Structure 1
């Protein structure tokens, strides 16, 4: 069988169930939606059903929309020139060099070096290894501990998965990697977590106590998202990152900003870390870096870290397809499109449209909080507003499925949060349609978890 385009929807469904391992799909979810094409903010499944993609390709990416012919032309032209040659050892390629240069020019000051990966998990994995090796080469081999936060999402490999603050990522896969510690996140809606203290005061005190317990000389780095996307689009108080940064700097602990979701225009700027008062030593990237048109990630580092980990012995680390010229060519074109079409500015417009369109949900009995940051939105679903009891995961799944079935709009269930991440090219009318779909279905959700007909 060579021409899969000739397969019917039913045949694809049968083969899907027989052969494809679906990541993160829980056993009670029997639905299969096989997406076969897309254009702009619209996608179609194998049965010809049309959907509004209000979830950015389902996992926060696709900032420039689907099916852009200019990206196809860029990929084809690069494949004609050279499809791939290693970027390990003494080799490189022109597209990787050009993209690294462009990223360095957009990144916060002092972050001028780029290590390419194939995605976000690999970028975080690389940053963890780089942080530990940096201290080792500087004569502090005991600095191996990595600090992260509960509810964070940093990836699914063993290192990045151990850093991830969702227990489901570590459940049943054997021992986590050693020397990882998770801290309480800044989560203003859940003020009960702080025992009456102000959010940032509590988090800073906890960080100081953790450093004292583990020992500053044993901690390599802290990794954190400027805004916790996977945790439910949770933005910290304005003083959180500046105060955390001061503590880390005082103890010689590196800061890694995980911008896999938040960079490349998602929150209305190329990088969100500086807007939150972060001064990271490394930034991890993926998702929108190549527009969703190829697997690509990166770590952006300071000269000091890059030079130290390379040294005379080299950074004995890498991936077969890192710096892939086709992916990097697509990354260059993605940056050009974002600039040419003013999509950074469009992100601010979408933010205002989402806030207006979702504002009415705050009064519903099953909505605890509505959060919008740039083009990211989360509706926190609860079974009890007074006590902020989150709904079960299957309820969030059911809400998203109903939105898709009733309105042909794709939203993403994320634990007890329903999240939106529309492409930056989504129109005002499409944002209104997505908000209406969410409001209509959530409005029928009862505290018991049932959705009325």
Structure 2
């Protein structure tokens, strides 16, 4: 069970009021109206959060894969307070700018893969992917190639739920019932090394590259604007491609003048042990989308990193005609700068590599459990594939949601899952004690999962 905290709590009456008000007023993502359960979080410190009843949980999801430096960091609070008292907000429309946006843009381009020298600020990941899609099409339009409108994406991809970002996401739940999607989108097979049946016995990279070649030939290279992809597919199950996949995809796209957009909303800012996963895979995209970890989630913010070639085309003549109210928000930029300072000063990229390796060694023992089909890890990003049958590699009929709920209620561990896998993305400040608690909790619950998805008492 979650452990009780000694910190004073609001009490049962206040909790009941909050829960009732939540049921009466809030619309939650992915929550049917028939579900009345609520857990009200009120405090966070480091890798842990506490609810309104005093229960303490290990946040093995870093909220939604974003709290790199951990909860409750006073340094970030101070940076936000100082900026709020100086210049709380302004914008970047036309000739206007602000000091913190300028400083953050310079910092990001220093950290980014070579060639990504320009920055467009957003308020989050879905906005960033919208901008990247628009820039890709606008780039070709400005270069007198208006027919280049097609976007290539991949099955099981997740790029956010805005109109364009949702359309290029490869999960049916974001399409069904919402009417026509963005036109001229084609989804390719993802390089999922566990789902070997998808490749007809071929090498996964060879299969995916051949499919990409055939798709380019069928649609026509002169009609394709860009391909978008997550370096490691997060919501899809921490799906990690073969080492040669991204370099070869990038080379093929470049040979046809097709732009590469890397969605690093989850993987950037140390999650993989590098500032950007593009550096891990040795690939330079034309546009790189980030959010989440840029501020460790303390305030909404995002940034799209762009090459000079793309920037020159989209800002020529009348300029790039798209922007947001909060583009370059100075308080968000100040928070991001403080967050990057902490990541650098505390060597959290090194910690992600070291603790990721430690966790990988300990999590390997889970493979002996009947319900665990695969364990995938890069830095502090992990996926645990749950199966009903190891030989057939079939997923649990109940999905992973009941397992995630049991982990929260029985072991005090918060993480998320998709239908196939549990997703483990702890804060980058994770230490050995918390890592051991995580593995022990996982083992205690997964050892009780039956092939039909039921969890033994």
With the length of structure 2 as denominator, give the TM-score of the two structures.
0.96
Q: What SS does the corresponding residue of 2:97 show, helix, strand or coil?
A: coil
Residue of structure 1 in register with 2:434 after alignment: 430
**Is the CA contact 2:155–2:171 (under 8 Å) kept in the aligned structure 1?**
yes
1:27 to 1:446, Cα distance in 2 relative to 1, 3 A: farther
Decide which of 67, 85, 89 is 2:90's aligned counterpart: 85
1:215 and 1:423 map into 2 onto residues whose CA distance is 43
The answer to whether the aligner puts 1:305 opposite 2:310 as a matched pair is yes
1:411 CA displacement: 1.6
Q: 1:412 aligns with which of 416, 426, 451?
A: 416
1:355-394 maps to which residues of 2 (within 5 A)? 355-392=360-397, 394=398
Of 347, 350, 353 in structure 1, the residue corresponding to residue 352 of structure 2 is: 347
> 1:256 is matched with which residue?
261
Deviates more, 1:302-311 or 1:125-134: 302-311
CA deviation string 1:360-419 (max 9, x = no partner): 111221111111111011111111211111124x44111111111111111212222111
Bigger shift: residues 373-382 or 128-137: 373-382
Question: Are residues 294 and 7 of structure 1, via their aligned partners in 2, closer, same or farther at CA, if it must alter by over 3 Å?
Answer: farther
Give the counterpart of 1:65 among 67, 70, 79.
70
Give TM-score scaled by structure 1 length: 0.97
Alignment size in residue pairs: 448
Query: Who is 1:212 aligned against?
Result: 217
Distance 2:119 2:12 in 1: 42
Superimposed CA distance per residue, residues 290-328 of structure 1 (whole angstroms, 9 cap, x where no aligned partner)? 111110011000111112101111111011111111110
Which segment drifts farther, 397-406 or 130-139? 397-406
Equivalent of 1:40, from 43, 46, 52?
Answer: 46
Partner in structure 1 of residue 230 of structure 2: 225
User: Which string of whole-angstrom CA distances, capped at 9 and with x for unpartnered residues, describes residues 15-52 of structure 1?
Assistant: 11111110122456542111111011111111121111
What residue is the counterpart of 2:6 in the other structure?
none
Contact in 1 for aligned 2:23/2:36 (Cα 8 Å): no
Cα separation, 2, equivalents of 1:30 and 1:56: 24
Shift of 1:159: 0.3
Return the offset for 1:5: 11
Q: How far apart, CA to CA, are the structure 2 residues paired with 1:382 and 1:31?
A: 27
What residue in structure 1 maps to residue 57 of structure 2? 51
- Could you say which residue in structure 1 is the equivalent of 2:242? 237
Residue in 1 that maps onto 2:204 = 199
CA RMSD of aligned residues (A): 1.4
Partner of 2:4: none
Indicate the SS of the match to 2:170: coil
CA distance in 2, matches of 1:48, 1:85: 39
Q: 1:441 to 1:29 in 2, by over 3 A?
A: farther
Check the 8 A contact 1:354/1:377 in 2, yes or no: no
CA contact (8 A) 2:11 2:53 kept: no
- 2:29 is aligned to 23
Q: Aligned partners of 2:81 and 2:93: how far apart in 1? A: 24
Deviation of 1:261 after TM superposition, in Å, equals 0.6
Secondary structure at 1:332's aligned position in 2? helix
Unaligned 5+ runs, structure 1: none
Contact 2:157–2:171, Cα closer than 8 Å, also in 1: yes
2-side partners of 1:144 and 1:121: how far apart?
Answer: 19
- 1:409–1:437 Cα contact (<8 Å) kept: yes
Runs of 4+ off more than 3 Å: 4-7, 26-30
Assess if the C-alpha contact under 8 Å between 2:12 and 2:53 holds in 1: no
Task: Name the CA distance, whole Å, in 2 between partners of 1:169 and 1:65.
Answer: 30
Q: Report if aligned partners of 1:353, 1:432 keep a CA contact under 8 Å in 2.
A: no
Would you say the 8 A contact 1:100–1:113 is kept in 2? Answer: yes
- Contact 1:162/1:170 (8 A) holds in 2: yes
- Equivalent position to 1:12, from 11, 18, 39: 18
Q: How does 1:323-338 map to 2 (within 5 A)?
A: 323-338=328-343
Aligned-pair CA distance for 1:7:
7.7
